[in-house]
Amino acid sequence: MGKKNKARLGLIIRYVLILIFAFPMVLPLMWMLTTALKDNAAVFKVPPQWIPDTFMWENFTTGLIQIDFWSRFRNTLFLAVIVSIGQVLSCMSVGYALSRLKFKGKKLWFYLIIGSMMIPGMVTVIPIFRMWTALGFYGTWWPMILPAFLGAPFQTFLARQFMSTLPKSYDDAARIDGANRLQILTRIIAPMCKPLITVIAIQAFQGAWNDYLTPLLYVIARPEKWTLSLAVGRMSSSTYGTQWNLFMAADIIYLLPILIIFFLCQNYFMEGLGSMNNSGVK
C-alpha cells in the first residue's frame, strides 16, 4: 500500500471515529428538533417517531409567545453583555497584576484564587443570598451584575497563564517610553490578548445566558425582570402539565445565540484555551 493510500485510509478512519463519537452528542439536539415539530400527543408515541407526519412550524411562534420572548431576550442580552464586560475588565486586570507585577503576597493571592475554584457553588448560596437581601438588592439585577466586576477564578487563572507567555521586554520598552501600568495593559498587552479576551467574553456570556439559579433566587417575584432561562424553565413546571413540543421549540430558539457565537469565534476560543498547554504555573 502506497503512502497516499495509507494517508487516505487514515483520514477515512479519523472521520469515521469523529462521526461515531459525535453522534451521541448530536442525538439530543436531533430529538429536540423533531419534538419541536410534532403535535404534543405525538411526543409520547412508542416507538418514538423521529420524522413527524406533519411539520408544525407554528410551534416555534406559539412557544415564543408563551414565554414573552422579546422582553425576556432583552433582559438576558443586557445581563449577558454587562457580565461579559465586567469579567473581561476584572480578570484582565487581576491576571496582569499576577503575571507581570511584583508585590508581597503575590503567590498567596494566586493560590487563594485557585483554591476558591474548589469550593462548591451550593455552599455559598445561602450566605450570599442573605448578604444581597440585607443590602436591599433582592428583586434587582445587581446580584447578577456586581459579581462579574469582582472577577472569576478560572478566567483569572487563564488570564494569568496567557499573559505569562508574553515577553516582559514589551513592558520594559513601554516604561522607558513613559507609559504607566494602565497604558501598558490597555495599549500593549490587551491587543496581544485577543484570543484570551474572546475566551473570557464567550465563557462569561454563556454563563450569564444559561444562568438559571441566580434569577430564580432574586427576580422570581418580578416577572418583568425574568431572563430567558427562567422563562423557559417555568414552562416545564406548569400546573396543567408541560406541552413538550412548545417547550422544545422555545428551548431551541434559546440555544441558538450561544451556538452562533461559538461557531463565529471558535478559532479564537480554541487558541485561547490552547495557550494553557504552553505555559505552566509559576
**Grid cell in block for residue 19:** 462521526
Segment 121-154, tens digit of pLDDT: 888 899 999 999 999 999 999 999 999 999 889 8
Contact 110, 160 (CB under 8 A): yes
Sites in the chain below the pLDDT cut of 50: 279-282
Q: How far apart are CA 274 and CA 41, in angstroms?
A: 47
The pLDDT value recorded for residue 243 is 82
Question: Which segments of the chain does DSSP mark as H helices, in order?
Answer: 3-36, 58-66, 69-100, 106-116, 125-134, 142-145, 153-164, 169-176, 181-183, 190-192, 194-210, 213-218, 228-235, 244-274
Q: How far apart are CA 8 and CA 12, in angstroms?
A: 6
In 3D space, the residue among 90, 224, 234 whose CA is nearest the CA of residue 98 turns out to be: 90
Q: Give pTM, 2 decimals.
A: 0.83
Alpha-carbon distances, residue 228 vs 59, 74, 177, 225 (angstroms) = 17, 9, 49, 10
The pLDDT value recorded for residue 82 is 96
Contact 254, 232 (CB under 8 A): yes
Site of grid cell 479564537: 268
Segment 194-242, tens digit of pLDDT: 888 888 998 899 999 999 999 999 998 888 999 999 988 888 765 556 7
Q: How far apart are CA 221 and CA 107, in angstroms?
A: 43
